[in-house]
Structure 1
């Protein structure tokens, strides 16, 4: 039987209840002159009020008023004030049921409202069936259905009818999608897919379960295990077109179901649904395995490079005594020569007295040998890792198909030659082997005695492949994370539809505006400097000097905080969870993966959340609980607690917290800050390449959190300890509703990059990171001859206007894609920042000219900075960044 109840009580109230808040009343219930004319035709005051209320209910939420329904007092007062009728008159309205009916009929005739029946119903159900395929949640589908009913002037039926129609449409949509997928699977592929549930690996687990057991590895054994699975999936030959025109969230849902079902559970499903899940899993796992294999290769390369660095450091440590002795000897000879020169004595005699020419020759030779060791590059030792590459690299290059742009031609040519050599088993390298892919430090090591070294050449290819995949110069066709950048961006035709963009669509318009602002700002700075009134600092001899930010928090604050904590009553965390859920119903966000229905077990959901929050684990939590067993908690966690459901629940709590009176004393919710917190992990971090030197040699992960000025943590991401924090700033700002409301965002020095500055400016965020060594930075301008003399020493060069203009469409596409959610900001920003020597878009976002001998740094507000803010704009309000949790505003900049 199809499911009939798809909404919670709170969701029904939200969709069907009459509004009570002022913004909704103003939006929906302002009566026009025509409305008032129709209303005044009713003879009695109570009838005028009842007629007006029915009209308002028709418009929003779009339904009939029910006999005896309690009308919210705020709505009564709002509507009554417009028609000059007191709310008390409603008590006698509808004493005759015929009056209510006659008014309803008159409204339908006057305004064209139609009941939900006959052909109207049939047409709406057709629309609903199509919408159900694209709707991500049950609540969203019901809301869209009601909005479409209102748009077509169709009277919204009872809530039970709406739920039943939506439920039927969801079931039909699921069956349609399953049938569409299975209809594209040929009989041979069906057999191969179904065999995954019966065939076993090593007689232990089914092939289906074996295929889904993969994660990023750190060595050749891990890589070969991944390649075994990827090779097996490729041999299944399931056409990727099987999932064409299936909404991505539907594909993801099918894949996640496959990852949660056991093989026995899959066998119990209807065959069509079983095949659809298997097909989605095979296609999705193929792409995911390709990504994981690339990341594993990345870690192996990084692990080898760190091993080479350690070997170089060990070599230096072993030569420490020799270095000391050699320096002492050279110092002795040097002192003797200097003394002889000053006293005009014989230099040869001084050398003889210092130890003799032979000792000097030996010392100089020893110094030359040590100089080579001191300046040794870690790449000198890379051939030590050749064997580990050979254990997987031939398969890695054969199974994965790499593509690239024109800038990657040489590397692709080298990859193809390496494949041919591997297939034929040739160990020697042809003299015409491509070398253009190699940078100078690689080329001089590859060419030994004029002949290319096969081992160094092959390792150099694998190192450069890693860099090119990171930057996007080379990509995989069947990948999610490493696909071609241009295919991930929205078409240029749709950019104008992105309301988030805060810049003109024409580059010249924007460049003209920013140039004028910059010129005006430089003039202001010049005048303030000459008058000695530059707030918060000064420019002395061409050097920016910033005043130290005084501590703004009084000493008594700490004592007050402790006193407030002491006055707080002790409350059990479980009681807090239950009380908050009774008010917000945040557990409604934890919907079933397949049906989208909210979990009915509130206590079970909160038990799973608590087990995760205190890191106790489900088994120990079950032992401590007298309400749920381990298997019950496991089922709830498996099917209801996911990243997106947790994010929805957090959004509900953040939204409610922002409406509390106390939150408004802290801020208006339009500014925020972000920072990372390091958490130690297990002892395998060195092997997994997750060690951050800042936190010592202990492995770990970082939690990167965004907190609003109302102290609401609206986004938290777990990121590798080795990752740069800056790319994740835009993830938090763009991937949830709270972040999109932010207008000014603060970050520490880890968030300061040109690319984040640029994208924030295009999207209308004021970005204010702390900037390390701000006085040493240099500013780039459109025209150097327009810079006032007092600021000339602070100018680093001229902005590449041509490059910005040429790449402006792609800059807009990039920002629009981030705003639309078609790309994850952190992923694409990491690509742009990884290896930008051939990526014109990355260079355009920084808009730089590389000039030898100059400090190459710019403050980009997409390449043009407002100088007053660069130097001292924040200094005029020294408390500004303190309230957002980021101190030292005077060492910050913000885009305008």
Structure 2
């Protein structure tokens, strides 16, 4: 069997290479007086050059230059300049093997270096083992290996030796991971796992059934998912069986297992098969749990939408009748008024304009028209009770909900409903919890005859949706609805990082010092803007009693630009998109990042099939139509490429390669310096089976679709893209700034109105980004300051009557810093926390501290009105 290959050929070439970085080369080639004295002991100029080159290589990167290839030209040029030597001496030195060996021996003593012996290799393997337990990515392990060798003054071995060492490390780590995952399994567990791979006739295996997606949004599919969860629970795997394995390893094994057929899994050795199945089951449990909750939320959303639509249709159908009744009763009312003024009989007055029997019939019709269901969709939601009742009992039985103290009443209500289902009670107990019921539901739920069961269940399950999103209630075994504190870095680790000044935040961590600095800055900026407002010196901005009015920007593009652009594009060649992909790949090599899921160093043999599959994704054509359009490509071959080589991480790495390549081109600097960016979402309709995965966003019509949220730099490179649901764009703004892998250093970001919320403003400030959103309803916004608004008469219309709550900020300062640090360090994604914060009730203190009572928001009056109005490029940056 051939030896396992850890590094690809490209990675091997990159491993021992000197970068073209002036700072690195200068530091590497620095020679002190002692070095020069040692070099000058060698009489021949060629020997002095060769000795100096070996010295710089060994002390710098730590490896010996290949004698068959010349050293880096930057190294040679710096050394000959320092030693006053001729540039053509290296070939003479390289031909003398004995001299080279003697020089190396001398340098080992001088630099106190040790060779990479077998005992040193064992020490290196022991050092790398914990890292390999976290990841099996060869290049990351190789970099750690070289760092360890350098710190221990060990000479770097050849790439082949490094490869063999890493292969041994990864193999040992794989075995250790398998051993940890299977250590707690008993015979009955192994038999149960093996049974998942058995298929009967044409039926898929039990494992394939467990991994099926939810499909159409309805109660039937919720029940099927609950059946899958119950099947996993029936395996009775030990609790916490996968907690000792790093999440990276767990996810990789799970992805491998999901991609493989049951027949292929059955061919694994016992320990590897059981370990892989454990990972697949653990991930499937979390995925199924989240999907059950998501299905429930989307069913509720559909039911409420249907109720609103029914209410609107009824109102439209009865609109003319309602109008006629209004006119009729206006006529009756006028007749009664006239009768009172003239002293006539009111009953006769009514009958003069409307016969009495018709009046009685009209009252009955009006009473029917005035039903609350015609004006409030909540009254109609009860018509869909059977849909909810179909799956709710089993959902509450299958999922374990755990509440924080803030949601304990709602948790008690869930227990009440669960008990009613279990005992088949027809009425809600009089003592059932009701403190959680919103005002809009109370009259429907709490009736004179008692608690209305149907409305009570609807209300509880609807409030559960909000509590799950905010984190007030979490679900055991879920990935998306975990305990809020579990998302953050541990409190002890946070305090340690804070003590060592390693929070990596852009603000002072001492609350009093921070507040003092911000209040001083705020006061000075308010004074400046107030003076300019009173004098009418704010360009394009008018602040009056009605609020802020900003003059719209005029088109700054010269009139001849459009025709000139058409002329330029007209003389450019018109190649096929496939030719462009191949040519760009020849420049950048971005396809090397599309590696095999199981073998990180293996790439597709047919590069054109890979590009064809990428193109199918890029133009949203689908593999079936792409295979029909491309000779030599079959659907199965494209599916194989997509299954094993195309993943989020491979797309991300390839995109990074392209962005970095563009940044390195001098032409890109004419557009910008790569420090500014903007983001926006695009909606793409989905069809066929994808309709079930898509969501309806009324902004884009009634058809289901998915949105892709893209960040674009001022150099026009899309450095981050993410598929999102129908939530507001602002949820994902920070993800692109924090988690892109390119060399861009973004400092300022623009969005449209959909990308703006108070949470984004606060976290942008904490994380060190300047935020420049386009705010559509700016005239409705108010600034919170410390002190009285009367001190700034020119700004009173834009200053809130409520002052900043400084005590609240001080009380929750540590919580806010811990949240921001967790986002910065990647412990939790920014988008997930934004969803949680957006779902919190208004009384939640941490949210207030991170939102309304944040001092930096008030001084944005300066940032928003003065420099932005004085600088056209800043005001137009979002559009650019």
Smaller-chain TM-score bracket: over 0.9
Aligned to 1:856: none
Cα distance per residue 1:139-183 (max 9 Å; x no partner): 222222222222222111111111121122222211221122112
Rate the CA distance shift 1:89–1:349 in 2: closer, same or farther, 3 A: farther
How many Å separate the matches in 1 of 2:714 and 2:108? 48
Matched, 1:553 2:557: yes
Aligned to 1:669: 674
Q: How does 1:40-439 map to 2 (within 5 A)?
A: 40-94=40-94, 96-198=96-198, 200=200, 204-215=203-214, 217-329=216-328, 346=342, 373=372, 376-439=375-438
How many Å separate the matches in 2 of 1:684 and 1:103? 69
Worse overlay, 294-303 or 526-535: 526-535
CA contact (8 A) 1:514 1:864 kept: no
Cα distance per residue 1:494-550 (max 9 Å; x no partner): 553656410122222222222111111101102222333212313234632212211
Aligned to 2:567: 563
Aligned to 1:874: 868
Aligned to 2:740: 736
Rate the CA distance shift 1:670–1:336 in 2: closer, same or farther, 3 A: farther
Cα distance per residue 1:752-788 (max 9 Å; x no partner): 1011111111111111110012123111112235741
Aligned to 1:580: 584
Rate the CA distance shift 1:353–1:449 in 2: closer, same or farther, 3 A: closer
CA contact (8 A) 1:515 1:864 kept: no
Aligned to 1:470: 469
How many Å separate the matches in 2 of 1:563 and 1:510? 55
SS of the aligned residue for 1:737 comes to coil
How many Å separate the matches in 2 of 1:351 and 1:790? 63
How many Å separate the matches in 1 of 2:506 and 2:344? 75
Cα distance per residue 1:823-876 (max 9 Å; x no partner): 12212211210242353322221135xxxxxxxxxxx56654332113232111
Aligned to 1:681: 686
1:711 to 713, 716, 730: 716
SS of the aligned residue for 2:720 comes to strand
Q: How does 1:828-843 map to 2 (within 5 A)?
A: 828-837=833-842, 839-843=844-848
Rate the CA distance shift 1:527–1:282 in 2: closer, same or farther, 3 A: same
Aligned to 1:894: none
Aligned to 2:852: 847
- Scaled by the length of structure 1, the TM-score of the pair is 0.91
SS of the aligned residue for 2:831 comes to helix
SS of the aligned residue for 2:62 comes to coil
CA contact (8 A) 1:299 1:689 kept: no
How many Å separate the matches in 1 of 2:843 and 2:782? 24
Aligned to 1:857: none
SS of the aligned residue for 1:87 comes to coil
1:748 to 748, 752, 774: 752
CA shift for structure 1 position 660: 0.7
Rate the CA distance shift 1:836–1:672 in 2: closer, same or farther, 3 A: same
SS of the aligned residue for 1:508 comes to helix
How many Å separate the matches in 2 of 1:792 and 1:641? 56
CA shift for structure 1 position 187: 1.5
How many Å separate the matches in 2 of 1:745 and 1:373? 47
Q: How does 1:428-507 map to 2 (within 5 A)?
A: 428-491=427-490, 492-493=494-495, 495-496=497-498, 498=502, 500-507=504-511
Aligned to 1:892: none
CA contact (8 A) 2:713 2:719 kept: yes
SS of the aligned residue for 2:543 comes to strand
CA shift for structure 1 position 733: 1.4
Cα distance per residue 1:377-430 (max 9 Å; x no partner): 211112112111111111100110001110111111111111111111111121
How many Å separate the matches in 1 of 2:578 and 2:195? 46
CA shift for structure 1 position 450: 4.4
How many Å separate the matches in 1 of 2:32 and 2:243? 48
CA contact (8 A) 2:653 2:741 kept: no
SS of the aligned residue for 1:879 comes to helix
CA shift for structure 1 position 34: 4.5
Worse overlay, 222-231 or 594-603: 594-603
CA shift for structure 1 position 41: 4.4
CA contact (8 A) 2:6 2:138 kept: yes
CA contact (8 A) 1:586 1:649 kept: yes
CA shift for structure 1 position 186: 1.6
How many Å separate the matches in 2 of 1:660 and 1:351? 91
Cα distance per residue 1:681-725 (max 9 Å; x no partner): 2389998782222222222221111111111111111222x3211
CA contact (8 A) 2:595 2:604 kept: no
Cα distance per residue 1:628-652 (max 9 Å; x no partner): 5544433222111111111111111
Cα distance per residue 1:299-327 (max 9 Å; x no partner): 11111111111121122112201221233
How many Å separate the matches in 1 of 2:32 and 2:453? 83
SS of the aligned residue for 2:548 comes to strand
How many Å separate the matches in 2 of 1:254 and 1:45? 57
Worse overlay, 43-52 or 388-397: 43-52
How many Å separate the matches in 1 of 2:805 and 2:60? 54
Q: How does 1:634-783 map to 2 (within 5 A)?
A: 634-682=639-687, 690-720=695-725, 722-738=726-742, 741-783=745-787
How many Å separate the matches in 2 of 1:687 and 1:612? 18
How many Å separate the matches in 1 of 2:533 and 2:122? 74
How many Å separate the matches in 2 of 1:581 and 1:653? 9
CA contact (8 A) 2:135 2:248 kept: no
SS of the aligned residue for 2:481 comes to coil
Cα distance per residue 1:189-218 (max 9 Å; x no partner): 111111111154x96111011111123652
- Scaled by the length of structure 2, the TM-score of the pair is 0.93
Rate the CA distance shift 1:91–1:3 in 2: closer, same or farther, 3 A: closer
- In the alignment of these two chains, the number of paired residues is 870
Worse overlay, 626-635 or 722-731: 626-635
Rate the CA distance shift 1:686–1:652 in 2: closer, same or farther, 3 A: closer
How many Å separate the matches in 2 of 1:682 and 1:719? 17
Rate the CA distance shift 1:450–1:622 in 2: closer, same or farther, 3 A: closer
SS of the aligned residue for 1:392 comes to helix
CA shift for structure 1 position 27: 4.7
Q: How does 1:798-813 map to 2 (within 5 A)?
A: 798-813=803-818
How many Å separate the matches in 2 of 1:22 and 1:215? 55
Cα distance per residue 1:608-662 (max 9 Å; x no partner): 2223323444455445555555444332221111111111111111111111111
Cα distance per residue 1:534-586 (max 9 Å; x no partner): 12313234632212211111222221221122111122323322222223221
CA shift for structure 1 position 594: 1.6
Cα distance per residue 1:329-369 (max 9 Å; x no partner): 4555778899x89xx97597999879769889978997787
SS of the aligned residue for 1:745 comes to strand
How many Å separate the matches in 2 of 1:772 and 1:648? 36
CA shift for structure 1 position 37: 4.5
Aligned to 1:815: 820
How many Å separate the matches in 2 of 1:39 and 1:775? 74
Aligned to 2:527: 523
How many Å separate the matches in 2 of 1:623 and 1:318? 49
SS of the aligned residue for 2:150 comes to helix
How many Å separate the matches in 1 of 2:668 and 2:399? 52
Worse overlay, 686-695 or 129-138: 686-695
CA contact (8 A) 1:845 1:863 kept: no
Cα distance per residue 1:787-826 (max 9 Å; x no partner): 4122122111212222222222222222222222221221
How many Å separate the matches in 2 of 1:548 and 1:577? 41
How many Å separate the matches in 1 of 2:432 and 2:828? 38
How large is the Cα RMSD of the aligned pairs? 2.9
How many Å separate the matches in 1 of 2:688 and 2:442? 37
Rate the CA distance shift 1:27–1:762 in 2: closer, same or farther, 3 A: farther
Rate the CA distance shift 1:551–1:483 in 2: closer, same or farther, 3 A: same
Worse overlay, 187-196 or 9-18: 9-18
